[in-house]
Amino acid sequence: MNIREALQHATTALAAAGSDEAALEAELLLAHALGTDRTHLYQRLPDELPPGAAAAFDALLRRRLAHEPVPYIVGRKEFFGLEFEVSPAAIIPRPETETLVELVIAFVSERGLATPRIADVGVGCGAIAVALAVSLPAGRHGLPAGRHGLPAGRHGLPRAEVIAVDISPDALALARRNAERHGVAGRIDFREGDLLAPLRGSVGGRDSSRRVDVIAANLPYVRSADFEAGPPEIREHEPRLGLDGGPDGLRLIERLLRDAPACLAPGGALFAEIGEEQGEAALSLARACFPQAQIEVRKDLSALDRVLVVQT
């Protein structure tokens, strides 16, 4: 069997098993088995599939047919233009969360904060914290102008201090490795603990000079019943701790909102990812905790409610 035939076989098998991205998944798995990337994979389509690679590919394919997510199988996932190590220690980063990162960058840019202190609460694999640390200060171009108000060029953006919090030591270890991979481990303060508890202990109580300018959070917001009824890729492989937000999906977000006023600096902002049907409920919770704040829900690129924004 040559590489083209192996790719076709895997695509057919994955499609029959119900994959919506059968061709892409087959390419990623075969490229991983061959130790190459998708570009070079297509350059080698007529080549015979080496026996060792064939055995490895078969094992990878069987794992995917057993509903294990491709990012966990290959051990990596791209987010915000960066490659992240992923494992069952944390949920797989989703493209929708890039909306939150862009909104945070736009906020600190517009406010002209010299050295913004940003807390990523529920850091997981480190996708948000690392993306922000890499982007602030900016050294990259390429983000389209006008997307969530973020300027096209990133030069001149401030150098951020990022605090990464998670209750899971395994997730924190994974996030630290990703920070090291992208050269920003020295600019991220990793703290183990529940929501804002590690933050409050470090900012001197009500000393506003030690409060944070931004709280960014992608906390669990899936309703428990939806998690139970979800696809096996999620239900059986991703950590429930990172997804299940209780009966209404907002249990942890409500706790975050209650505690956030004591941690946010004047003129700061909170950005929390939410589910597409949770906009009104999230707004109501935020208004109760921040009666004087400017509060809104921003949509993602699919025009779905995605980020609760609270500006004090």
Task: Give the pLDDT band (50/70/90) at residue 140.
Answer: very low
The predicted model scores a pTM of 0.89
Would the pLDDT of 286 be above 70?
yes
Tell me, yes or no, whether 115 and 154 share the same domain.
yes
Tokens 């590919």 correspond to what residue?
A: 57
Tell me, yes or no, whether 302 and 185 share the same domain.
yes
Tokens 């960058």 correspond to what residue?
A: 105
Examine residue 78 and state whether it is found in any structural domain, yes or no: no
* Average of per-residue pLDDT values in the chain: 91
Residue 87 CB neighbours (<10 A): 17
Report pLDDT for 115: 87
**pLDDT tens digits for range 141-187:** 334 333 444 443 344 566 889 999 999 999 999 999 999 999 999 99
Tell me, yes or no, whether 133 and 200 share the same domain.
yes
Examine residue 115 and state whether it is found in any structural domain, yes or no: yes
**pLDDT tens digits for range 56-86:** 999 999 999 999 999 999 999 999 999 999 9
Tell me, yes or no, whether 61 and 102 share the same domain.
no
Tell me, yes or no, whether 56 and 108 share the same domain.
no
**175 or 109, which is more confident:** 175
Last residue of a domain, one of 31, 66, 101: 66
Tell me, yes or no, whether 26 and 168 share the same domain.
no
Q: How far is CA 11 from CA 21, 27, 39, 171, in A?
A: 9, 8, 17, 32
Residue 162: domain span:
89-311
Examine residue 193 and state whether it is found in any structural domain, yes or no: yes
Number of structural domains found in the chain: 2
Examine residue 79 and state whether it is found in any structural domain, yes or no: no
Percent of the chain with pLDDT over 90: 86
Tell me, yes or no, whether 32 and 102 share the same domain.
no
The CATH number linked to 228 is: 3.40.50.150
CA distance 21 to 93: 17
